[in-house]
Amino acid sequence: MVPVAAFECDERKLYGVQHHPEVMHSTHGQQVLEHFLYRGAGLEPTWTTSNVVEESVAAIREQVGTKRAICGLSGGVDSAVAAALVQKAIGDQLTCVYVDHGLMRKGESEQVEKDFVAATGVQLKVVEAEERFLSALAGVSDPEEKRKIIGREFIRVFEQAQAELVAEAGAAGEDVEFLVQGTLYPDVVESGGGTGTANIKSHHNVGGLPDDIEFQLVEPLRRLFKDEVRMVGQELGLPDEIVHRQPFPGPGLGIRIVGEVNKERLDLLREADAIAREELTAAGLDRDIWQCPVVLLADVRSVGVQGDGRTYGHPIVLRPVSSEDAMTADWSRLPYDVLSRISTRITNEVDQVNRVVLDITSKPPGTIEWE
């Protein structure tokens, strides 16, 4: 971390550094970089969230003009912040679409439908599609099959909503030409840096948005990293639950039920997951863990004893992990008393669950999600 050489060059000093000051755990890494940029290279620290917001708003207005735009909201940070920025720039020229597939966690649809709308004033079209998704998933337990079905249904539903909006706007003599995407800088790098009219991130869990769409993209987060996106979200006054949401897969709880997915099982899992999240938050652990999938082993039963009787119920798995980038992960060493509270509450409060187990596998070999 110590500078190993300093050259005179163009009246400014260039410092050579021996290792990776940008990596979060490098001691004094931040200081070394600040020194290099502000003193060595003579740059000014002008990056502030309010500058970023101002500049993005101006750029979006310039790009979209008087046309209309749409944006799919997933409940995740990226699309929420992207939508909030675009809303700030062009107001009611933007319409957001939220597909409620019935696979969200407890309270998440309300966060999008009520809290996000209240914080931003955005126009939102909600598509209630729970029944459609659940009937498409009926009888399916293979994980890949589930993902495909959810992705396929999502695209169909989204396309339909999109077509309706385009038709409504057309009837009013307006054009919908833009689609807002929450593409971040790492996505840009990953996909080779190109820009243009579509090729939406192809690694999407949900299957992504349709790739034959004829919209121009508005991607206000293209130059930001995740932590910067959260800062911008905060600056825009978005609810904490959205800004600090941990990663959650597009197919939602559909891939956290090992076995067939149905409403009853989803409700059980929603309860168990809500308890785990509540206790982790109460213990102040949200920022220490990367995410904590809660999984229902619907195809497994074990014997238990609750009250006066014998039970034959399902196990719930807790999968708390620590990670920097989700490529590798380690299981989080959560305090025993926190684990104990979660276990006691889940077995007491969630019907048909008589056992809570902890997943202590790192990634690799185990993935973060079970399916």
Ligand X SMILES: Nc1ncnc2c1ncn2[C@@H]1O[C@H](COP(=O)(O)OP(=O)(O)OP(=O)(O)O)[C@@H](O)[C@H]1O
| Strand 68-73, strand 176-180: pairing | parallel
Does residue number 343 form part of the binding site for ligand X (CB under 6 A)?
no
Whether the link from the prior residue into 251 is cis, omega within 30° of 0, is no
Does residue number 320 form part of the binding site for ligand X (CB under 6 A)?
no
Asked if 94 and 83 count as a contact pair (C-beta separation under 8 A), the reply is yes
Which structure tokens are listed for 19? Answer: 């290792």
Beta bridge partners of 358: 318
- Our CB check for ligand X shows the closer of 34 and 115 to be 115
Does residue number 293 form part of the binding site for ligand X (CB under 6 A)?
no
Considering only residues 169 through 188, tell me which ones interact with ligand X, judged by CB under 6 A. Answer: 182
Q: What is the dihedral of CA 151, 157, 158, 161, to 10 degrees?
A: 180
Does residue number 98 form part of the binding site for ligand X (CB under 6 A)?
yes
Does residue number 74 form part of the binding site for ligand X (CB under 6 A)?
yes
Cα-based distances in Å from 49 to 203, 235, 238:
28, 7, 14
Does residue number 219 form part of the binding site for ligand X (CB under 6 A)?
no
- Output the smallest distance, CB 55 to ligand X, in A: 21
The residue from 60, 97, 236, 294 that contacts ligand X (CB under 6 A) is 97
Q: Which of 112, 77, 75, 113 is nearest to 253 (CA)?
A: 75
User: In terms of residues, how long is the chain?
Assistant: 371
- Our CB check for ligand X shows the closer of 229 and 292 to be 229
Q: Where does this chain touch ligand X (CB under 6 A) — which range of 32-40, 66-74, 216-224, 254-262?
A: 66-74
- Output the smallest distance, CB 274 to ligand X, in A: 19
Q: Where does this chain touch ligand X (CB under 6 A) — which range of 58-66, 73-81, 169-177, 215-223?
A: 73-81
Cα-based distances in Å from 156 to 151, 152, 364:
9, 6, 34
Q: Where does this chain touch ligand X (CB under 6 A) — which range of 38-46, 96-104, 118-126, 273-281?
A: 96-104
| Strand 309-318, strand 353-358: pairing | parallel
Whether the link from the prior residue into 365 is cis, omega within 30° of 0, is yes
Asked if 338 and 275 count as a contact pair (C-beta separation under 8 A), the reply is no
Does 77 appear as a known binding residue? yes
Does residue number 79 form part of the binding site for ligand X (CB under 6 A)?
yes
The residue nearest ligand X at its CB is 76
The residue from 205, 332, 343, 354 that contacts ligand X (CB under 6 A) is 205
Radius of gyration of the chain (CA): 23
Does residue number 73 form part of the binding site for ligand X (CB under 6 A)?
yes
Does residue number 250 form part of the binding site for ligand X (CB under 6 A)?
yes
Residue 233: φ, ψ to 5°: -60, -40
Q: Which residues are annotated as a binding site for ATP?
A: 74-80
- Interacting residues with ligand X (CB under 6 A): 72-74, 76-79, 97-99, 101, 182, 204-206, 208-209, 250
